[in-house]
Amino acid sequence: MPLPLSSPHVTIIGGGPAGLVAAEMLGQAGVAVTIYDQMPSLGRKFLMAGRGGLNLTHSEEFERFVARYSEGSERLRPLLEAFRPEDLRGWCEGLGQETFVGSSGRVFPKAFKASPLLRAWLARLDALGIRFALRHRWQGWDEEGRPVFTNAAGERVAAQADATILALGGASWPRLGSDGSWVELLKAKGVAVAPLRPANMGFTLPWSEVIRGRFEGEPLKRIALAFEGVTVRGEAIVTADGIEGGAVYALSARLRDAIEREGQATLLLDLRPDLPEEALAKRLSVPRKGQSASTYLRKAASLSPLGVALLRESDPRLPVEPGDLARLIKAVPLILTGMKPLDRAISSAGGIPFAELDENLMLRRLPGVYAAGEMLDWEAPTGGYLLQATFATGIAAAKGVLARLKIPHAALTLNPSSATPQM
């Protein structure tokens, strides 16, 4: 439905979840919106994240949920309270995509993939009259303060905007559009930006030829990893030059900081987290009866060939005493010497500090310009926390724009039949 020519116009730069949900809320309030994106299609990282199953959010108790954001939890709390995990589920189901809670508490759409949800979402935005300007790369502002872009033909294009929302993502997966090129543009305007660093990434360590040659790509299932007094159960994968996977990502911020500070970090691997050390030592007290160490450990401790190889990686001779051997199985030291680079990380840390933003996510140095999503300096583990905060900040920025334009608004509409411009 066409909007009247007198409608306020908002420019959104970035077509990922933060930009799309901000556009949806603004469109529902009757605001004309154009989304600019440098890629030929929208939501590319969103689609990539959903290839193995789109983890929307998490079902755990809200206080524990908020605590997952660590240092950013205090500033994010009011935004997450305004758009909670159950609201994200309701929004998804309003688009015809039912959700379910997995065994780990993670929430997924029943279709599992991101593509059906994105198609329905873009159709809703189209019905709201949202305009899309693809293959437009943001170049900053012109002398009149208008956002400026270079289009596919190399032509310079300026956008008229009553307000602008920046939702350009971080700098992980640059081939999908999040390349961090916005950092220098904001710094040129005097906006402080914390250095972008990898988050939810793998780590490197010097494996022996045995591990690299025989076990590259092998999973470590039903394990626990511990670092600095924090223990996480889950799974990991051995790579040619290190280790990655869900349990690793959960500790990645602590590990990254330690490596940056000290040059390395010792991650402790528990190969049998379901079995107390004393019980494991008792099992290992059974006579070997001529069995090889590998066979003995497989039968007595239920270790996989990879588990045995990791024990030998730490101590080639292996402890003889059952208690010493049990202690090693429960705490195999993995000395991490580096981290995977930013362009191979799932997400990025750093970005625009909250001190640079007012309570409505407007840049204090650039009135009328708002920021949302992974551009902001917050960090979260995988498990649905990334998308939840991305949505919440996108909605908060849209609310800030509406307040500045003095346009009344309601909560984000969850029923697609009522998602039409309010005239």
**Each residue's pLDDT tens digit, 302-328:** 999 999 999 999 999 899 999 999 999
In the chain, the domains with their CATH numbers are 9-199+344-418 (3.50.50.60), 203-339 (no CATH)
Instruction: For 340-385, write each residue's pLDDT tens digit.
Output: 999 999 999 999 999 999 999 999 999 999 999 999 999 999 989 9
* Strand pairing report for 32-37 and 131-134: parallel
Span 198-219, pLDDT tens digits: 999 999 999 999 999 999 999 9
Q: Contact at 8 Å (CB) between 200 and 347?
A: yes
- The pLDDT confidence band at residue 52, using thresholds 50, 70 and 90, is confident
Q: How confident is the model at residue 415 (pLDDT cuts 50, 70, 90)?
A: low
Contact residues for 68 (Cβ-Cβ < 8 A; gap 6+): 58, 380, 381, 383, 385
Round to whole Å and give the CA distance between 417 and 422. 13
Determine the Cα–Cα distance for residues 219 and 210; give it in Å rounded to an integer. 16
Q: Could you tell me what percent of the chain has a pLDDT over 90?
A: 89
Which pLDDT belongs to residue 414? 58
More confident residue, 104 or 333: 333
Q: Residue 233: left (phi > 0), alpha (psi -120 to 50), or beta? A: beta
5/11 Cα distance (integer angstroms):
15
Output DSSP code: residue 366.
S
